[in-house]
Amino acid sequence: MKAAVLMEKDRMEIARIPRPEVEEEGVLVSMTQAAVCGTDLKLIRSGHRDLSLPRILGHEGMGEITASRHPAFQKGDRVAIYPGCFCGDCPACRAGHTSRCETIRIYGFNRDGLFRTVIPFSAKEVSSLVRIPEKSDPGVVLAEPVACCLSALGRFRYLEKTTALVVGAGAVGSLFTALLLAEGWKTVLVADRNPRRLSSGLPRGVRTMAAGTGGLRECLERDGWGGKIGFLVPCCPSGLDWPFWEVMRPGGGVSFFSGRGRKTEPLALDADAVHYLGLTLAGSYGCDRKDFVFAASMLARKRLDLSFLDCCRVSLSELEAGLDRLRNGRIRKVIIDRF
Ligand SMILES: [Zn+2]
Ligand SMILES: [Zn+2]
């Protein structure tokens, strides 16, 4: 069978690896779909805090149980795969925050990932599997990025759903936008410095703004949004590198959702503005299993319709060509649907 292995920085290979055996109380999952995201590109190009090599990539995917020695799973069950392997027992896990598990291993980062034909799960690891209905919408493959958005949004549930601003119209920016609209935010603005990214692949009802982070404040003020942004989500590394506090409404929220890449300078921030405006700033990284379960069930039943997203479908062997299209920014998402 095949696997996409990152051997070293910038060198990914489609390798032949032995088919796994099913362990006692374990299962085998044959992959049906996996999605490639910007983080995978980043891993290949420049590594990541949580990456060790060589590594089979992939942290977004779903499959079918093809062998089971575990009482809770049967051959034929469809599953979405939560990308964290957590202990279930530490204080964070017990509080439901599996993404902060003391010993978490992340598929495609520090544990082999989902870009392979068949994946073995041990008795300990089956807690990463979330059963979904047999006739689930294929959009379930995006449960992980949607769950990351839900996880970030979960820290701001108290906000009045006025005007939200998403900075960066890549795949995650587009998904976050869809989620905000679905949750009833009155106005959702999405800004990107690349006007082409604003011309397609976004949900209906969003308002677009072509502006780099440098000129974003001016654009917002010119269009009458100064002081009116109730919720700000950066969905690109430079999403907070501008005086964003100047456009926030009192009591607004700012999600520290995207990492800032390899920046050497710490973020400049007007602490007095945060103080006087009573802003809430909250970080978020990854997603808890409960967010993933919620996202998978929402997508399986098409309660969040992501058909607007521009995707291309490839086989695992064609992954490199798919990555190129992603690098060129021609599409937002690559789905592997043949393994
Ligand atoms: Zn991802
Ligand atoms: Zn734990």
278-327, pLDDT tens digit by residue? 999 999 999 999 999 999 999 999 999 899 999 999 999 999 999 999 99
pLDDT at 36 over 90: yes
119-171 residue pLDDT tens: 999 999 999 999 999 999 999 999 999 999 999 999 999 999 999 999 999 99
pLDDT at 46 over 70: yes
Span from the CA of 96 to the centroid of ligand 1 (angstroms) = 21
Q: How far apart are CA 25 and CA 71, in angstroms?
A: 7
60-94 residue pLDDT tens: 999 999 999 999 999 999 999 999 999 999 999 99
178-230 residue pLDDT tens: 999 999 999 999 999 999 999 999 999 999 999 876 689 999 999 999 999 99
Domains of the chain: 2-135+309-338 (3.90.180.10), 147-283 (3.40.50.720)
Handedness of CA 324, 330, 331, 337 (dihedral sign): negative
pLDDT at 238 over 80: yes
End-to-end CA, the chain: 8
Span from the CA of 286 to the centroid of ligand 1 (angstroms) = 9
104 φ, ψ (degrees, to nearest 5) = -60, 140
**Burial, 246: exposed, middle or buried (Cβ in 10 Å; 0-12, 13-18, 19+)?**
middle
CB atoms closer than 10 angstroms to residue 189? 23
Span from the CA of 172 to the centroid of ligand 1 (angstroms) = 8
Span from the CA of 281 to the centroid of ligand 1 (angstroms) = 23
So what's the pLDDT on residue 213?
Answer: 67
Residues with CB under 5 A from ligand 2 (ion): 86-87, 90, 93, 101
